[in-house]
Amino acid sequence: MDTSPRSQRPEPAPDDPRKPDSPTDLRGRSWKHAALTTARQFSRDQCLDLAAGLTYYAVLASAPALLAVLSLLGLVGDSEKIVDQVLDIAASVVPADAMTTLEPLVEQIAGGSDKAGLALVVGVVVALWSASGYVGAFGRAMNRIYEVEEGRPVWKLRPVMLLVTAAVVLMAVLVVVALVLSGPVARAIGDAIGLGSAALTAWNIAKWPVVLLLVVLIVAVLYHSTPNVRQPRFRWLSVGAVVAILVWILASVGFGFYVATFSSYDSTYGALAGVIVFLLWLWITNLALLFGAELDAELERARELQGGIPAEETIQLPPRDTRASEKRRQKLQQDVERGREIRTAAQRSSEDGPGRHDEAPGGDRPRT
């Protein structure tokens, strides 16, 4: 990643009129360029390593995030039934070996989330603060993808990351509510309006597109809000978000089939097999998210290039803030100047050295 200061030429506005309005306005040559550079930038930005780092933060954030989600869900239903239904849903997505690790974690967290009043509020706030570590790490990865330094001061950056975390957790709650609590609600509404079981049947079909759109919205919020670049207007349905979700679904199915059919994790790792499989699945999930982010970034580059903006080397989006990065550069320059003074002083000492040693201390000439 090029972390050097941007060119002195100011970046064009995010919605510069020279750029095509949307990816659908890109020509075939621009799409081809975006596809090729996405694959190359994915490797050049070391996304395999970035995904490993995000997996670490995801593990640290998983327990607090689950606590926040289950605490909020406990306000609208029976917590024990909700936990059972959440585990049933997770079992349809997460590989079976990973469920052996995830199931006791969820049950233990659910046992500690049965709080009320101030204790619930404090628990949720602490959980959100801890879970925001993943969002912050994701923002640093996005900065690398968009070739920009983090310039927002900590007093500005941290609240943004907390707000994004809260939004993501809230949408995750809506996803779980749609899957877990929708049946009784749909039946009650159907009875109230005279549709009966027809409303439940209709919702059982419609809830999956709704859940998919919510998941895509979660990814779009992460893509738009975390990097230190002023992006074009918010698009809740970005190409990168859709591709990331599709890649994640296919990769999860393929990985689950591999684990169930060909792998020997149980015989190799024994009791740790579930942990290993869960970590690998999280890593694959983060790889899919980073690939979608790279695609969105390269589509933005293609829009700029097609609009005649020189973006072949660096994506030309203005940063949200540069105060922190400018302060770091000033401190770096001070370190350089201090180091230069040490070096020049050593050079002068070396040049003056022979004349100083012609005589011994005290003015006496050295003996022969």
Give me the pLDDT at residue 7, please: 44
Q: What Rg value do the Cα atoms of the chain yield, rounded?
A: 27
Q: Which residues make Cβ contacts (< 8 Å) with residue 265, sequence separation at least 6?
A: 97, 259, 273, 276, 277
Rounded-to-integer distance, Cα 6 and Cα 209, Å = 42
What length is written for the chain? 368
Rounded-to-integer distance, Cα 166 and Cα 129, Å = 9
Q: What is the DSSP string of 261-313?
A: HT--HHHHHGGGHHHHHHHHHHHHHHHHHHHHHHHHHHHHHHHHHHTT---SS
Residue 116 is given by DSSP the state -
- Residue 29 burial (C-beta neighbours within 10 Å; 0-12, 13-18, 19+): exposed
CB-based contact 317:14 (threshold 8 Å): yes
80, amino acid identity:
E
pLDDT by 10s per residue, the chain, length 368 = 444 444 445 677 777 888 888 778 889 999 999 999 999 999 999 999 999 999 999 888 877 777 767 776 666 555 666 677 677 766 766 666 667 767 776 766 666 555 555 556 766 777 788 889 999 999 999 999 999 999 999 999 999 999 999 999 888 878 877 776 666 666 666 666 666 666 667 777 777 888 888 898 999 999 999 999 998 887 777 899 999 999 999 999 998 888 888 777 767 777 677 788 889 999 999 999 999 999 999 999 999 999 999 998 899 999 999 999 999 999 999 999 999 999 999 988 888 765 554 444 454 555 54
- Tokens 């999956």 correspond to what residue? 208
Tell me the C-alpha to C-alpha distance, in Å, between residue 296 and each of 31, 59, 344, 366. 12, 26, 48, 75
CB-based contact 106:87 (threshold 8 Å): yes
Nearest in space to 253 (alpha carbons), one of 243, 242, 261, 264: 261
Q: Which residues make Cβ contacts (< 8 Å) with residue 155, sequence separation at least 6?
A: none
Rounded-to-integer distance, Cα 300 and Cα 265, Å = 41
Q: Which two tokens stand for residue 59?
A: 């593990």
Residue 247 is given by DSSP the state H
Rounded-to-integer distance, Cα 76 and Cα 41, Å = 45
Q: Which residues make Cβ contacts (< 8 Å) with residue 7, sequence separation at least 6?
A: 314
Q: Which two tokens stand for residue 117?
A: 């009043």
> Residue 170 — φ and ψ, nearest 5°?
-65, -45
In this prediction the pTM is: 0.80
- What angle, 0 to 180 degrees and rounded to 10, lies between the N-to-C axes of helices 197-225 and 182-193? 130
pLDDT in tens, 238-260: 899 999 999 999 999 998 888 88
Q: Which two tokens stand for residue 96?
A: 């079976």
pLDDT in tens, 149-162: 999 999 999 999 99
